[in-house]
Amino acid sequence: MRKFILLTAVLIVPAFAGSAGAGDFMDTRITWTFGDEDLLHDSGEILPDTPKLGIGDRKGYELFMDNLNLRTTGRENQTHLVMYKKLPAFFPHLYTEAALVMQIDFAVMEGSSNPNSGDVLTDDGSYLKIGYTFDENDESKGVFFTFFPFDTERFRLGYLWDMSWGGGGLFTSKKTGPAPGAKLELKVGKLNLYTGFKTARVSQTVKLGDAETEEITVQETNYGFLGGGGIDIGEYFRFDVGGGFFQQGTFNFEGLIGTKVYTFGTSARLTLHKGLDVPMSIDYMLYRNDPSVNVIEWGKEKYEPGKFSYSLAIEGTALWQHLSNPDVYAGTELQPAYAASLQLRFKYGYFRGLFTGLYRNLEFILHNVPSLTPFVAISDGAEKTSEKFFSASFDYHFPALHLTPSITAGVQFPATYSSPGSDVVQVIRNEDRRDRLPEGFDMKPIYGLRFGLQWDLSDILSVFTNVQYVHDENLTRLKIDESGQKRVFSSSEQFGFYFVTRAKF
Q: What is the CATH number of the domain that holds 339?
A: 2.40.170
Q: What is the DSSP letter of 365?
A: H
Q: How many CB atoms lie within 10 A of CB 372?
A: 22
Exposed, middle or buried, 376 (CB in 10 Å: 0-12/13-18/19+)? middle
Q: Assign 290 a pLDDT band (cuts: 50, 70, 90).
A: low
Does the pLDDT of residue 389 top 90, yes or no? yes
Does the pLDDT of residue 136 top 90, yes or no? no
Residues 6+ apart with CB under 8 A from 213: 207
What mean pLDDT is predicted for residues 8-25? 40
Does the pLDDT of residue 123 top 60, yes or no? yes
Residue 7: per-residue pLDDT: 40
Does the pLDDT of residue 416 top 90, yes or no? yes
User: What is the tens place of the pLDDT at every residue in 313-326?
Assistant: 999 999 999 999 99
Q: How many CB atoms lie within 10 A of CB 213?
A: 10
65-69, 215-219, 324-328, 335-339: which has the minimum mean pLDDT? 215-219
Residue 241: per-residue pLDDT: 98
Q: Which of 334, 344, 336, 302 is nearest to 319 (CA)?
A: 336
The domain total for the chain is: 1
What mean pLDDT is predicted for residues 405-412? 97
Q: How many residues can be counted in the chain?
A: 505
91-95, 249-253, 290-294, 428-432: which has the minimum mean pLDDT? 290-294
Q: How many CB atoms lie within 10 A of CB 59?
A: 11
Does the pLDDT of residue 400 top 70, yes or no? yes
Exposed, middle or buried, 164 (CB in 10 Å: 0-12/13-18/19+)? buried
Q: Assign 91 a pLDDT band (cuts: 50, 70, 90).
A: very high
What mean pLDDT is predicted for residues 486-493? 87
Backbone angles phi, psi at 108, to 5 degrees: -65, -40
- Higher pLDDT: 185 or 139? It is 185
112-121, 259-268, 317-326: which has the minimum mean pLDDT? 112-121
pLDDT, mean over the chain: 87
Residue 194: per-residue pLDDT: 97
95-109, 333-347, 434-448: which has the minimum mean pLDDT? 95-109
**Helix (H) / strand (E) containing 14:** helix 2-20
CA distance linking residue 332 with residue 440, whole number of Å: 32
Q: Which of 258, 71, 263 is nearest to 171 (CA)?
A: 263
Q: What is the DSSP letter of 157?
A: B
Q: Assign 210 a pLDDT band (cuts: 50, 70, 90).
A: low
Half-sphere exposure of 89 (CA within 13 A, CB side): 14
Which domain does 97 fall in, by range?
A: 2-504
Q: Assign 298 a pLDDT band (cuts: 50, 70, 90).
A: low
CA distance linking residue 191 with residue 408, whole number of Å: 36
Helices (H), ranges, 84-131: 106-110, 117-120
Residue 297: per-residue pLDDT: 52
**Which one-letter amino acid corresponds to residue 325?**
N
CA angle in degrees (0–180, nearest 5) for 261-266-312: 145
Does the pLDDT of residue 215 top 70, yes or no? no
Residue 250: per-residue pLDDT: 86
